[in-house]
Homo-oligomer: A and B are copies of this chain.
Amino acid sequence: MKLKARYIDVDTGDVSVLMHDFDCAELGLREKDRVKVSHEGVTTVAIVTTSDTIIQKGEIGLLGATLKTIGSEDGELVDITAASKPESVEFIKKKMNGMELTTEEINTLIADISSRALSNIELSAYVTSLYIRGMNLRETVDLTKAMVAGGEVMTFSNGPIYDHHSIGGCPGNKITLLVVPIMAAAGCKMPKTSSRAISSAAGTSDIVETFANVALTPTELKTITEKVGGVLAWGGSLNLAPADDLIIKAEYPLGIDPHAQLLASVMAKKKAVGANFLVIDIPMGEGTKVLTMDEAKTYARDFIQLGEQLDIKVECAITYGGQPLGRAIGPALESIEAIRIMEGAKTPNSVIEKTLSICGMLFEMGGEYQGVEKARQILESGKALKKFQEIVAAQGGKPDITSADIKVGQHSVDVIANQSGYVGQILNKALVRVARTAGSPKDKGAGLVLNKKTGNKVDKGETIFTIYAEHDWKLQEALKMAVRLEPVKIQGMVLARVPAFSRVSL
C-alpha cells in the first residue's frame, strides 16, 4: 500500500507511525502491530498507532526515529506492508512461562532492545517476567555478554584494571571521589565510570560535575587513564552496554530492579571497561535496596560467580546502608565533604573508613598486603589530594582545586529539634525526597547536611540538619517536605513505659 508521508514532530520513544483506521483495516492491522515502511531503498519496521482524527485516509504520520531513518520528504509516497513482530516477543513469552532462554535467544532479545525494535508494552513484559521468573547463572552470563557486545569495549595498553561499584540505595555515598585518587596515586589504573541519579539525591557523576567535565569520549577515558591513572567519568557518554538505558526506561516507572538484570547491567559495564579486579559494595539495611543479610549474601555470591564466568575477579563488601554515609547529601555538599577529607579532615569517620576498606580490598586483590594501611598512608600523606587535582585538571576542571572552590546553594535553613532525646532512626528515602525537593541533583548547590546521626544525643533547639537550595521557593518546599516526612526520628530516653497494672491482663 502506498501512503503519503507526513512528518509528526513528536518522539514518543517507540519507533512508530500513525495510520488511519481505514488503512489499518485494509491491511488487517491493529494498534501496536508492525509495518515495514520503505522509501527509495531505505526500509524500517515501525509500530502502528491508529488514529482517525489527526491522520487522513491515505496518509501516514512518521514520528521521531522513523522520520530520521526513512528520510522521505513531506508529501512523498512511501510503501507500507504488514510486518510481523520481532522474534524477541516469543522469547519474552518463553520467560513468562518460566522457561530458560538460549544464548541465541538472549542475543536476539538484547539486539532488539538496543535497536528500539520493542515497544514499551513488550519491554515492560520483559522486565516484569524477568523480575518474577529470574534467570539462572548461564542465562545471566549470556545476558551480560550480549549487553557488552552491543556497545563500546575499552582496551588499555597495560593492566591490571581496578574498579569498584556500589549497587546503591545508601544516600551520601561519595567514596568514589576518594577511592579513585588513592588507587591511582599507588600506580593502579582505575577508569571509573559512574551514573547520574535516577531516584537518588545525587549520583557520582552529578557530584563530580561540580568540579570537572564528566562527559568524556572513549578516547579521553583511555588517554586520561593511561596518563593519570584514574578517571571519574559519566558512563552515559561512553556507550557502554547501551541496552541498559533502554531497559531502565521500563524498570523505572515500575520501581523494579530485576535481580538478573541488575547483575548483568553492572557487570556488563565493568566488562566493557576491561576490569580485572572489582569490589562490589552492597549497602544493606532499612531504606536501601537490600533489606536482609541473606539477600545481601545472595547478591554477593551471584556477583562473584558471574565474575568468574566473565574473567573478572570480584569481591563484595556488605556495608551498613541504613543511614546516610557521612553527613552531606547533594552534589556540591558531597564534593566538599570528600575533598576536605583529602585535605586532612578527620571526619566523617564513616566515609574515611569505608573508603579505606574498599581501597584495601582492591590493593589486596592486586597482591598487596595490609591494603587498608597502604590506603591510609596515601590519603594522609596528601598524595591522594595531589592525584585528585591531576585527575580534575585532566578532566577540564580547575587545577589545584580545593574544597573552598565548590559553591553551595546561597539559601539555607536549619531544621531544629522541638524535643530532646536520641536519634533513633534516619529514613533514607525521606531524606532523599527532601534533598530532591530542594533541587538536588539538578541544582548542584542544593541538598542537606546532617548535624545529628543515629544514636546521637539531641537537645531541644539544636540543629538536626541544614537544607541548602539555590532557589528560595525550593527551599521552602523542601522545608515543608521535611516537616511532613520527619526524616530524622528523635526518641525520648524512655523507649517504652510499661504501666504496673498491665501485669493484671497477662
Query: A30-B252, A125-B124, A253-B121 given as contacts; is B131 within 8 A of A96 (CB)?
Result: yes
Contact B119 A253 (CB under 8 A): yes
For residue A101, CB closer than 8 A to chain B, the reply is no
Question: Which candidate, A47-55, A164-172, A297-305, A368-376, is the interface stretch facing chain B?
Answer: A47-55
Partner of A120, one of B92, B124, B198, B436: B124
Residues of chain A from 320 to 378 with CB closer than 8 A to chain B in the complex: none
Contact mask A123-142 → B, CB, 8 Å, 1/0? 11101110111000000000
Residue of B nearest to A199 (CB): B30
Q: Closest CB-CB distance, A96 to chain B, in whole Å?
A: 6
Q: Which residues of B contact A92 (CB under 8 A)?
A: 254
For residue A256, CB closer than 8 A to chain B, the reply is yes
Residues of chain A from 57 to 74 with CB closer than 8 A to chain B in the complex: 61, 63
Contact B198 A30 (CB under 8 A): yes
Rounded to whole angstroms, the CA-CA distance of A468 and B343 in the bound complex is 85
Q: Which residues of B contact A439 (CB under 8 A)?
A: 28
For residue A389, CB closer than 8 A to chain B, the reply is no
Partner of A132, one of B16, B96, B256: B96
For residue A460, CB closer than 8 A to chain B, the reply is no
Number of copies: 2
Rounded to whole angstroms, the CA-CA distance of A160 and B13 in the bound complex is 51
Query: A128-B124, A442-B26 given as contacts; is B11 within 8 A of A54 (CB)?
Result: yes
Report which residue of A13, A436, A439 has the largest number of chain B beta carbons within 10 angstroms of its beta carbon. A13
Partner of A31, one of B63, B121, B249: B249
Report which residue of A12, A25, A250 has the largest number of chain B beta carbons within 10 angstroms of its beta carbon. A12
Query: A25-B442, A32-B249 given as contacts; is B128 within 8 A of A10 (CB)?
Result: no
For residue A9, CB closer than 8 A to chain B, the reply is yes
Q: Interface residues of A, CB < 8 Å — how many?
A: 52
- What residues make up the interface of A, taking CB atoms closer than 8 Å to B? 8-13, 16, 18, 25-26, 28, 30-33, 49, 51, 53-54, 61, 63, 85, 89, 92-93, 96, 98, 119-125, 127-129, 131-133, 198, 249-250, 252-256, 436-437, 439, 442
Partner of A442, one of B12, B28, B119: B28
Rounded to whole angstroms, the CA-CA distance of A261 and B123 in the bound complex is 21
The 9 closest A-B pairs by CB, nearest first: A124-B124, A25-B442, A32-B253, A128-B128, A121-B124, A125-B128, A28-B436, A120-B120, A9-B54
Q: Closest CB-CB distance, A34 to chain B, in whole Å?
A: 10
Contact A125 B254 (CB under 8 A): yes
Q: Closest CB-CB distance, A135 to chain B, in whole Å?
A: 15
Q: Which residues of B contact A254 (CB under 8 A)?
A: 89, 92-93, 121-122, 125
Q: Which residues of B contact A125 (CB under 8 A)?
A: 124-125, 127-128, 254
Q: Which residues of B contact A256 (CB under 8 A)?
A: 93, 96
Residue of B nearest to A249 (CB): B31
Rounded to whole angstroms, the CA-CA distance of A250 and B129 in the bound complex is 15
Q: Known pairs A12-B12, A30-B198. 13 more at Cβ < 8 A?
A: A9-B53, A11-B53, A13-B49, A28-B437, A31-B249, A32-B252, A32-B253, A33-B253, A92-B254, A93-B254, A93-B255, A121-B121, A125-B127
Q: Which residues of B contact A85 (CB under 8 A)?
A: 253
Q: Which residues of B contact A31 (CB under 8 A)?
A: 13, 249, 252
